[in-house]
Structure 1
Amino acid sequence: MQEQQGVADVAGQARRAPMQPVVSDRLDSLFGGLSARKRIAVCQLPVSATVGLVVLAAAAFSPATLASNLFMSALLFHVAIAAACVAIPWGRLPASAFAVIPLLDCLAIGFTREAGGPAFSVLSVTLLFPVIWLSAQVRPYMPVLAIVGTVLSTVAPSFLQGSVPAGGSMIRVLILPLVMAVVAVSAHVVATTLRRHRARIVQDEQDLARTLDESVRRQGLLDAVLKAVGVGVWVVDARGRTVLANKAMRTDPALAGVVDPSGGQGLLMADRCTPVPAGLLPAARAAAGDAFADELYWAGPPERQHAYSVSSHGFPPVGGQGAGAVITFVDVTSLVSALAAKDDFVATVSHELRTPLTSILGYLELVLDEPGHEDVREELNVVRRNAEHLLNLVNDLIAVASERVDLSLEETDLARLLALEVDAAQPKAAGNGLQLVLEAEEPLPARVDPERISQVFRNLLSNAIKYSPNGGTITARALSTGSGMACSITDTGLGMTAEEQEQAFTKFFRSARSRETAIPGAGLGLPVSKTIVEGHGGSISLDSEPGVGTTATFILPHA
C-alpha cells in the first residue's frame, strides 16, 4: 500500500508542479507577452545598438567621418527607422507589414557603409540582422525579401550618388547578395525546422499532461475502489513479495499474518488446525504461476476463526513492470456456517424421520405376515414400497449431510453387480423407448461394498433413463484399466451445459431443463454416488454436451 501511495503522491506532485522551464521557454514567454510594437522594437534593437557602436567608434578613431553630411544623413536614417518601430501602431496593420523595417535597415546599412568609406566596409556584416529577421518568419516569401534587401544595400547607394559599381565594388555587388541568400535560406530552413520541432514538443507535452491527468484520475479511482471494496486484495510480484494490499486486507485481524508472516498466525487448512505448508500458501502458488479460484482457507485465533474464499489471477509484465498476481480474500464465514447449519438440520431431521419410517416398515411386515389381510394386501404392498422409497431418500439425505457412508467391503464381481442392475432397469428403459446395452469384462473382481456400489449403478442408470425422454441408447460399461476399475453409463439424452456440469454434484441441484420438463428427482443421486465412490478411494466425473448426451464415469482402485 505504501508503494501505491508513493505512486499517487508522485503523480499528484507532477500535476501540481509543472516542469521547470528552460531558458528558451522563459525567453519565449517573455517575448510572447510583448505587444506587436514592442516586439518590432526588440527585433530592431541589434541594428540600433550596432549603429550606436559605429558612432562611438567613429568619434574615437575617425572624427572626420562624423563631419560628413552624407554619413550624418545615414545615421539620421537609422534614427528614423528606430523611431518608426516605436511610433507606428503595428498591431493595427497586417501581420507582414513589419517587413518594411528590415528592408529599410538594409538600405540604411548600405548608405552608412558607403558614407563611411573603406574603413566602414565591415558594416556589411550587420546585414545579417535584418536578413535573419526576415528569413526566420513562417511565410516562404520572406527569404526573398531578405535577398532583395541585400541587393538594394549594395546597389542603391551607388545609384543615389550617381555612380555605377565597378571593379572591387562589383565583387561586393555579386558576392554579398549571394552569401546573404545562402544565409537567408539556411536561416529559414533552420527556423522552420525548429518551429516544427517545437510544435511537436508542445504537442508531446500536452499529450503527456493529458496522459498524466488520466493516470492520476485512474489512480484515484483505483484507490477509491480498493478502499471501498470489502474484499481483501493482495498484489504480489513474481517472487511472491507484497506490492499492494488494500485497507480490507491490512485491517482484518484474521489476515494479519498473511501479508506479514511475522504479524500473527498464518492460514490454516480446511481442518482449521493444520497450518498451510509454505509451498501451498497463496503467494507462493501465485509466484509459481498457479491460478486458482474459490479455494477455502481459515485464518485467525481458534476462538475467532474466519473462513476465506481465496482466488489468484496472474498478470503479465507490462510497460517495464514485472509480472505478478492479484490474490483476493473473500470472507465466507457466514456462508460456511450457514451451510454447516443446513447440513446439521438435514442430518437431524433425517435421523428423526428414519426412526418412525423403520417402525412403519416393521409393522407393515408384521401385518403382511398375518393371515386375513388378503383383501388389502395389494394396498399394503404399495404402502411398503413407498415407505421403503422414503427410507432410502432419508438415508441419502443422511449420507450427503455427513459426507460419509459406512462401508462393508468384500470381494465382489463388479461386472455381475452391473449386469444385475441393468437387468432390473430393463423394464423401465423399455417403457421409455430406450435400448439398454451392457459391455462388461467378466469377471471383474474388486473389493467394494456391493450394496453401495449397486446403489451407484442404480442412481446413474436412473438418471440416464430419466434424462433420455426421446428414446435412444444407454450403454453400461465396466472394464479394468491401468488406473483402476472403470465403470461408465452413457446416454443419448438431453445433456448438460458446462455450467450445469460444474454444479451437478452439488446437493439438491437440478438443471433448469429438468425442472421445465417436470422430470422427477431430489437432486441427491449424483452427490450420494460421489460420496460412495470417494469413500472407496475412487473418483467420479461427468462428460456431457447439450442435445448429445452424458457419460458418467467412476473409477475404483484395484483390489
Structure 2
Amino acid sequence: MSVKELATASRVLRYVDRAGARTRVVLCQLPLSVAVAVIAVAAPTAWADAAAAPLFAAGILAQMAAALVSLLLPWEQLDAAAALWVPVLDLVSVWLLRNGGPHGALTGTGALAVFPVIWIAGSTLSARIALPTALFGPLLITLPTLLTPGAAGHPVFSDALLLPPLMLTVAVAIRAAGAGLRLQERALRAHQAKLKELLEEAVEKEALLATILDAASVGIVAVDPGGRPVRWNEAFRSLLEGVGWESPADFDIADRAFPVFTKDRRARVEPDRRVLHRAARGESIDGEMVWLGWGPRARALQVVARPVDGDRGGAVVSYTDVTQLAQTAEDKAELVRTVAHEFRSPLTSVLGNLDLALEAELPAAARSRLEVAQGNAERLIELARDLMASSEVTLPIRPARIDLSAVLAARAEAVQTAADAAQVRLVVDLPPQLWVQADPLRIGQAADNLLSNAVKYSPDGGVVTLCAAEACGWVRVEVADTGIGISAEDRPHIFDRFFRTDAARGLDIPGVGLGLSFTRMVAERHGGRLEVESEPGTGSVFSLVLPTAGPS
C-alpha cells in the first residue's frame, strides 16, 4: 500500500474507533445488506418464484435478520466477540442465496462472501481462527457445486473451485495490512505520547522560566538579531511603562525620539550605539550606565548584555535600576562642589592678605607663624581644587595636539621646590619632543598628582624618576620612587576616593586620598589607563598610559 493509502486507511480506522460499537457493527454489515437488496431488486424472476425456491427466500430473510440484529442489539453492553456472530449469519445467508436460487441461476452470489470474510479477517480474532474461517466458510458455500456429478467441466465448477482460496488470499492480505496499520498506529501513538510528554515538559519549563524572570528585580529582555524585544519579564515592562513607553512589544530602541543618554545625562546616544543594538550585534556589555527617559521620569540603568550562541543569534540584556544610587552620588558630588567652592573663596582672601602681610617688615617669629598659616592655606586651596575635580561625574576634557615632553618638564620644574625641601632627588628623562592628542591642563594635573605623591611618600629622601616613551600608538609616562611602597592588601583600593593606606596615616603624610582617583579618571577619559607596581619598602612605579591619537 502507498503512503497515501495508508494515511487514508488510518483516518478511516480512527473514525471507526471513535464511533460507538453499534455504529461499527452497522457499518460492517451495511455493504452486504445493500448488495443483497440490489440482487433482490435485480432478480425479479427469482424473487417472484420464491415459493418455488424457499432457500433463496430464506437467504433474503437471513440477511434481513442480520441487518436488524446489527441495528437493534445493544452492542455496547455485549462482549466485543459477540458481534462476530453477525458475519457468520452473513455466510449462512450467502450460502442460501447462492444455492437456493431457481435452477442455480444465482451461483455468482457466492462472491458476496467477501464481505463477511473481510469482517472476520479484520476482527480481533486470532489468525488461527480467522484464516480457517475465511477458507472453510466460502468452501462450504461452494461445496454443493463441487459435489455435483458431471460439473467438473463446467465454468461454474471453476468459479466454485477458485472462490475459497481467493477468499483466503483476501483474508491474508487484510490481516497483513491490518498488522502493518496497527504497527504504524502503535508507533504513531508512541510518537504522539512522546511529543505530548515533551510538550508538557516544555510548558512546565516555560512556566518555570517565566516565574523566575518575573521574580527577578532587574529588567531582563531577549532581543532578536535586529535588536527588537522578543521576550521580557515583568520588571522590564514596568521599567518601560515608568519612562512612558506603553508596551515592550512596540518598543523600538532605534526610534530617535526615544531618549537614551550617556552617564552624564548630557549626550544623547545614537540609535546604532544603543545597548540593544550593540548586544544584538554580538557585543558583550558589563556594567555600562545609561539614562532612559527625560525629566522626573528618567531612570538610570546599569546594563549587562550577553549575545546568544546559535544560528538564531540575538542577545539577552539586563537592566538594573540604579536611579537612587546615581541621584545619591550626584547629590554627594554637588555637596562636595559646594563645600569646595565655599572653601576657596575665603581661602583666596586669606592668602591674599597673608601675601600682603609678608611683604611688610616683620619680626622673625611673626613671619614664621604667617608662613605656616600661608602654607596651610595653600594646602587647603589644593584640597578644595582636588575636591572640585573629583566631584565631577565625567571629567570634561579638551584634547589638542601638544608636546607631552614640554608639559611634563614644566610640571617637574614646579615640583622641584617640594622635592628639594624633602631632600628627594628628581630625575627627569624625557625625549626632546613627544606629540600626542590630549588635554594639557588635565594631563598636567595628573602629572602633578603622581610627582607630588612620589615626593610625599619618600619621607626619608630618595629618588623620584620621571620618564616617558612612545610605542605602537601608545605613550607611557612613568613616575617611579624609592619610597615606602604599597602593600598587596592596599593596592586594589588605592584608586578609590578618600582611601589612604595605614602607612601614610602612621607617618602623618598629608593628603585626603583624592589624587590617584582623579588621575585615573583623567587617564580613562583620554582612553587610557593608570597602572601601578609596588612593594612595601622598595617604592612604587605609577604608569600613565595614553593613546597618542587621543580619546576615541
Shorter-chain TM-score tier: 0.5 to 0.7
Instruction: Structure 2 unaligned segments of length 5 or more: list them.
Output: 1-7, 420-426, 459-464
Do the aligned residues in 2 keep the contact of 1:230 with 1:248 (CA within 8 Å)?
Answer: no
CA contact (8 A) 1:307 1:333 kept: yes
Deviation at 1:486?
A: 0.9
Q: RMSD between aligned alpha carbons? A: 6.5
Tell me the amino acid that sits aligned with residue 69 of structure 1.
P
Q: Does 1:112 align with 2:80?
A: no
Identical aligned residues as a percent = 22
TM-score, structure 2 normalization: 0.60
Q: What displacement does 1:340 show?
A: 2.0
Aligned to 1:152: 137
The answer (yes or no) to whether the contact 1:464–1:493 under 8 Å persists in 2 is no
SS at match of 1:50: helix
Residue of structure 2 equivalent to 1:249: 240
Cα distance in 1 for residues equivalent to 2:26 and 2:547: 101
d(CA) in 2 for partners of 1:224 and 1:485? 49
For residues 43 and 323 of structure 1, do their structure 2 counterparts lie closer, same or farther at Cα, with a shift above 3 Å needed? same
In structure 2, the CA distance between the partners of 1:393 and 1:413, relative to structure 1 (3 Å rule), is closer
Is 2:182 the counterpart of 1:189? no
Question: Which whole-Å CA distance do the structure 2 matches of 1:297 and 1:337 have between them?
Answer: 12
Q: After superposition, what is the alpha-carbon deviation per residue over 1:136-170, rounded to whole angstroms, capped at 9, x for unaligned?
A: 2355527x514533333223663799768855566
Q: Indicate the residue corresponding to 2:298 in structure 1.
A: 306
> Residues 236 and 556 (structure 1 numbering): CA distance in 2 closer, same or farther, change over 3 Å?
closer
Q: How does 1:62-81 map to 2 (within 5 A)?
A: 63-64=48-49, 66-78=51-63, 81=66
The offset of 1:64, in angstroms, is: 3.2
- Displacement of 1:183 in angstroms is 1.9
Shift of 1:481: 1.8
Aligned residue in 1 for 2:545: 554
Contact 2:111–2:163 under 8 Å retained in 1: no
Task: Determine helix, strand or coil for the equivalent of 1:137.
Answer: coil
1:141 aligns with 2:127: yes
SS in 2 for 1:178: helix
Q: Provide the rounded CA distance (Å) in 2 between the counterparts of 1:406 and 1:461.
A: 27
Deviates more, 1:62-71 or 1:519-528: 519-528
Take 1:187 and 1:176, find their aligned partners in 2: how far apart are those partners?
16
Instruction: Write the distance in 2 (CA, Å) between the matches of 1:558 and 1:242.
Output: 38
Amino acid of the structure 2 residue aligned with 1:452 = Q
More divergent stretch after superposition (278-287 vs 481-490) = 278-287
The 3 A distance-change label for structure 1 pair 441 and 273 is closer
**Residue identity in the other structure for 1:113:** R
- State which of 37, 40, 47 in structure 1 corresponds to 2:25: 40
1:296 match = 290
Q: CA deviation at 1:401?
A: 0.9
Measured in 2, the distance between the counterparts of 1:298 and 1:522 equals 35
- Where 2:49 maps in the other structure, the secondary structure is helix
Q: CA deviation at 1:527?
A: 2.0
Counterpart of 1:188 in structure 2: which amino acid? R
Q: TM-score, normalised by structure 1?
A: 0.60
Which residue of 2 is the match for residue 349 of structure 1? 339
Write out per-residue CA displacement over residues 376-412 of structure 1, whole angstroms, 9 at most, x where no aligned residue. Answer: 99xx99x9999988776554323211446999x9854
Instruction: Name the aligned partner's letter for residue 171 of structure 2.
Output: A
Q: Secondary structure at the match of 1:145?
A: helix
Q: 2:118 aligns with which of 132, 146, 153?
A: 132
Which residue identity is paired with 2:165?
A: L
Give 1:99's aligned amino acid. L
1:218-249, Cα deviation, whole Å (9 max, x unpaired): 599969989x98969796762x6787995753
1:555 Cα deviation from its structure 2 partner = 2.1
Residue number in structure 2 paired with 1:53: 38
For 2:36, the aligned partner's letter is V
Query: C-alpha displacement at 1:343, in angstroms?
Result: 0.5
Residue identity matched to 1:181: L
Q: Distance in 1 between matches of 2:62 and 2:456?
A: 113
Q: Aligned partner of 1:47: which letter?
A: L
Q: Which residue of 2 aligns with 1:175?
A: 162
| Shift of residue 489, structure 1, vs aligned partner | 7.7
Contact 1:74-1:112 at 8 Å conserved across structures: yes
Partner of 2:424: none
Paired positions, count: 488
Q: Distance in 2 between matches of 1:496 and 1:141?
A: 90
The DSSP-based 3-state class of the residue aligned with 2:106 is: helix
What CA distance in whole angstroms lies between the structure 1 residues aligned with 2:97 and 2:180? 34
What residue ranges of structure 1 are gaps of 5+ in the alignment?
A: 1-21, 426-437, 466-474
Answer with 111-120 or 388-397: which moved more: 388-397
